[in-house]
Structure 1
Amino acid sequence: MADETRRDDCPAMRPAVRETYGPADLSGLQIFAGGFINFGYWQAVDLDLPLDEAQRIRSQEDLYRLVLDTAGALRGQRVLEVGCGLGMGCALTLREYAPAEVTGMDIHPEQLRRARAAQAGLLGREPERLRFVQGAAEQMPSAAGEFDAVISVEAAQHFPDLVAFAAETARVLRPGGRAAVTSFFTVDDAPGRPGELAKLLETFADGLDIARPVAALAQAFTAAGLTQVRVESIGSQVWPGWDSWLSRWWAPGTWPRNFLPAYRSGLLDYYVVTAVKEGADQSP
């Protein structure tokens, strides 16, 4: 595993992001069992039966598999994950998709430290295939055309500037490269959406998550010159399972259980957004 690259010029983190992924260590909470930090894709889990930790971890892994499958054939490819957290998705990518190399990028140095600790020894047979770098979604420490695929799993809701993220994604992708991003967004750009979500969900009230329509990301990709931009809702396979899992700790009406009502009332949804950089080798 290559040495972590440090960025002294990395843009400043927003305070809520610094706290949540630093001292608070979201990854250490039981709701994110297994080291992944995402809500999960629960299609393969029977929600009518009691949920256990193994099913929870599968839901998180399956969210990565969905994104990685959407990113195209990755064997022998160079993959960048933006917002890699503890690197569990990077490890899954190496284990199941046989890329040439994976770069995990995160803005938070504490997350990178934890990622190196979490992955130490797991991939020792091929240490150079995985590296971690510090960088922001809006200012990636990578060369133009360096990657065949750029993925991001449940991190874009934190990115302050989707236009800059899209421009950087387009810059670091090679011609024919693909981007695949999954996260939660508002369903439209109605002016009252941020306030409505802030009343329901603490993460929107304290600034950890930013309320923006999914169209903002799709339009940013298009403006950056990416093509074949597609938006797919996967909320029906995310929100009910996430709510069922949360029910082990929180009662209905408590703020963590308000994600499902926000989805059902048409305020919030979960999406996969994909795009392609024009050029050769656009095979799926």
Structure 2
Amino acid sequence: MNAPNLVHLIGAPTDIGAGDRGASMGPEAMRVAGIDRALRGQGLTVHDTGNLVGPHNPWQPPVAGYRHLPEVIAWNTAVHRAVSEALRADALPLLLGGDHCLAIGSLSAVAQHCRAKSRKLRVLWLDAHADFNTHTVTPTGNIHGMPVACLYGNGPQALTALGGPAPQLQADCIRQIGIRSVDAEEKRLVHAAGLEVFDMRFIDEYGMREAMNQALAGLDADTHLHVSFDVDFLDPDIAPGVGTTVRGGPTYREAQLCMEMIADTGLLASLDVVELNPAFDVRNRTAEVAVDLIESLFGKSTLMRR
């Protein structure tokens, strides 16, 4: 199947799962940086559905290992509904976050859609963090550090079963790329789950090209390709506008290659862009870099040779 030509922009302006305030301003920063215009420039039809509505951030301490769990459930339920509606309309849902806890709702909807259509699912998780913490090992209780664990069925039922019986994802469908900050107990859980991780040590040793070749191996026309792009995937020298910067991430050129190789598959069918925090940015620079990279995800290429 070819990637959809219609894109639904879905704003989710919340920092409910994060440890810093400000990611709630991410969707508008992406709009200011020209996300709509950039996608139209790639020949796509764009429908901006506006922003979802959910509870405010009460900024409370964790309860039983989770911060703001009722509010996180409410926001993810809204995201699940909006992404499901986009997929039913044969559109590509592009979730504008917001923090990365929202991927629970987004990917639950995508996984449910793939099961209904009997399609294979491949998830590329572009991030500095593995996001595999649980309420028993988390140092903070912030649920933006738990979405992959929840999607694998390790979390509260209201989140793990959002798209049907848990788990929403199996270990063989996800590839994590750019990882460089993992808590000690979280690392143990990642290894036990058997996640395939192309961390920055792998990229340093073998290059982004080899990482992406392996991460994209086995795709075919019946594969739904989902990209969950946490902006802290990028090195903070080029993307300072996030709340959880980790030095030593992909350079601009490495990130461009990553995006262009994804675009070359022609299989991109859903996308999250999360953790953009304008409160930490410099003149919206990070949003502009993110939009530039998203253009490459949808076909803008530096390739000149035939």
Output the TM-score relative to the length of structure 2: 0.40
Output the TM-score relative to the length of structure 1: 0.42
